[in-house]
Amino acid sequence: MTCRRRLGVTGFLPIKVLFMVILFMVQSQNAAGKDASWSFAFVADSRSSGQAINNGVNTRVLNLIALEIAQDIRDQNIKCELVLFGGDLIRGQYSEHTSKSNSAAYQQWKEVMKPVYDAFHEKKAPLVPIYPVRGNHEIYHKKTGSTEESVKNEWMNAFGNYLPQNGPPPPPIESDEISPQKGLNYFVKHKDVLFVAVDQYVTSGYDPSVNQSWLDLVLQQEKTGPHVFVFGHTPAWQTLEGKKSKSLFSYPEIRDKFWESIERAGCRVYLTGHQHYTAVNIIKHKDNPDMWQIMSGSGGAPLTESGHKVIDPDRTIYLNQTDYGYYIGKVNGDEVTLKFKYYSEAENKWISDDRSVVHYKVH
C-alpha cells in the first residue's frame, strides 16, 4: 500500500509540474508577444497659414502634437519608435509675403518638435528617428531671391544630410533623368518593417512625380520582412470634390504605376497628406488583399472647410475635417493596427478615434 501511494504521488507530481511549466511558457510567450509590439507615428502639413504674422509653422498645433508623441515614445504600452512626417513642414517661399527663410522656418520646426527629440534622446537612440519627406511648400521658390537650388540646399542642410543616404544613386539606375537624390528619396529598415520615403518633387516645377525605377528596385531588393509602408506628400486617390491641387491622382498614369508597384510589393498602406484633413480610403482588388490610403494632413495647416462632397462614399471609410492630430501605427508580429489621435479643443484632451481604425494581418 505504501508503495502504491508513493507511486501515485510520484506519478502525480510530474503531471502537475508539467502543467505548470506549460502554463508558464504560454504566459511568457504572450508577454513576449506583447512586449515585442511597437509603434510609429505619421503626420503631415504643420505649416502656418499665409495670414500668420510669423509665417512658417503653426507652433501651437505642432507643439500639442509633439508633446503627445513624446508621451507615446515614453509609454511602454505604445512604444513609439519612429516618427514619419509627410511634407509641408513649413510655409516656405510661397509668395513675396513670406517673412521667414526656409532655414529659419526649419529651425522653428525643430524647436517646436523639441519634446519629441528629447524623448528619443532619453531612449539613448544613436540617431533621432524622425523621418520627413518634402512637400510642395518645401520646394516653392516664388519669393524674389529664392531658387530651386537654394530651397533644396536649405532642405539638405536642415534635414537631407542627416537622413539615410540610400536614395538614387545608389542603387545604380541607368537613366539620364535620374539625378542624385540622397536625402530626398530614401528608405528605412526598422525591425521587420521597410519604410520608403518617396520625394515627389525631384523634377523641375511644382507638379508631383515619382522616381518609379528607384522605387521598384528598392521594393524588390529591400523588403525582407512582412511589412512595408510607403509615404509621400500627395494622395494617390481623391476624397473630396474641388480639392485637386496637383496631387498624384491628377496624373493617373503616374499614379497607377506607383500604386501597382507598391501593391505588388505587398504594401497595404500608403501614408500621405497635402490636403488638410484626415481621411481613410480603402482600395479593393478582387485578386489581392485590401489596401488603404491614410491621409493625415492635420498637423497644423488650415483645415479644409466642410461642404465639399465626398467623391466615393463606399471607398472613403473615415473622414475628419474638424480636428488636428496624427496617426499612430502599432506593429505586433504580422498584425498592424493604425488609429487617428486627435486633439479635442472642447474637451481639452487627446482622443483615439475608433472609427478611424485600419487593421490587417499579413498571411
Give the model's pLDDT for residue 161.
96
Tens of pLDDT along 59-68? 999 999 999 9
For residue 268, how far is the Cα from the chain centroid?
Answer: 13
Cα pseudo-dihedral 243, 248, 252, 258, rounded to 10:
-150
Residue 102: is its pLDDT beyond 50?
A: yes
Q: Which residues pair with 296 in a beta bridge?
A: 278
Which of the pair, 30 or 106, is modelled with greater confidence? Answer: 106
Helical H segments across the chain, by residue range: 2-36, 59-74, 102-112, 114-122, 136-139, 148-158, 212-222, 252-264
CA–CA distance, 294 with 359 (Å, rounded to integer): 12
| Rounded Cα distance, 193 and 136, in Å | 27
Return the pLDDT at 26.
38
DSSP single-letter state for residue 240: B
Q: Residue 339's CB: how many other CB atoms inside 10 A?
A: 17
Per-residue pLDDT band at 243 (split at 50, 70, 90): low
Range 37-361: architecture per CATH: 4-Layer Sandwich (3.60)
pLDDT band at 6 (very low <50, low <70, confident <90, very high): very low
pTM of model > 0.85: yes
For the chain, what is the total number of helices (H) and then of strands (E)? 8, 13
Mean pLDDT over the full length of the chain: 89
pLDDT score for 175: 63
What are the cell numbers at 78? 505604445
Mean pLDDT of 226-244: 92
Quick check: 80 and 124 in contact, CB under 8 A?
no
Which residue has better confidence, 27 or 131? 131
pLDDT, one tens digit per residue, over 254-293 is 999 999 999 999 999 999 999 999 999 999 988 889 999 9
Report how far residue 330's alpha carbon sits from residue 339's, in angstroms, rounded to the nearest whole number. Answer: 9
Q: What are phi and psi of 51, to 5 degrees?
A: -85, -10
Q: How confident is the model at residue 46 (pLDDT cuts 50, 70, 90)?
A: very high
pLDDT by residue (tens digit) across 124-168? Answer: 888 899 999 999 999 999 999 999 999 999 999 999 999 999 999
Backbone φ and ψ of 171, nearest 5°: -70, 155
Is pLDDT at 11 greater than 90 in this prediction? no
In 3D, which of 147, 329, 139 has the Cα closest to residue 234? 139
Distance CA 209, CA 58 (A): 27
Q: What percent of the chain has pLDDT over 90?
A: 78
CA distance 83 to 123: 14
